[in-house]
Amino acid sequence: MTYQAIFSRADDGTIWAYVPELPGAAGSGDTIEEARESIAEAARLWLEEERADGEPVPKPTIIGTLSMDTV
């Protein structure tokens, strides 16, 4: 399964990320690469814990994305 992470930049410049289907799975970093590594680890641990507890793993629900610049 492939989950989509949402990335945004905080006022202090830090990049935050979360996966909507995995409540509490969040990560951050000073660069996009650091944020990607952080959220990947958080999602992996979240899924691992759910499986270990015998809980069902949610299916990805995001079916598309749109990136756009505003003027």
What are the structure tokens assigned to 9, written together?
A: 């930049």
Residue from 28, 10, 30 nearest 18 by CA = 28
**46 φ, ψ (degrees, to nearest 5):** -60, -50
Cα-trace Rg, the chain: 13
Q: What would the pLDDT profile of 6-41 be if each residue is shown by its tens digit?
A: 999 999 999 999 999 999 999 999 999 999 999 999
CA 8 – CA 11 distance, rounded (Å): 10
Q: What pLDDT is attached to residue 34?
A: 97
Q: Which pTM value belongs to this model?
A: 0.84
Residue from 63, 54, 60, 66 nearest 22 by CA = 60
Going by pLDDT thresholds of 50, 70 and 90, the confidence category of residue 71 is low
Q: What pLDDT is attached to residue 18?
A: 96
Q: From 3.40.50.10810, 3.30.160.250, 3.20.20.70, 1.10.760.10, which CATH number describes the 1-71 domain? A: 3.30.160.250
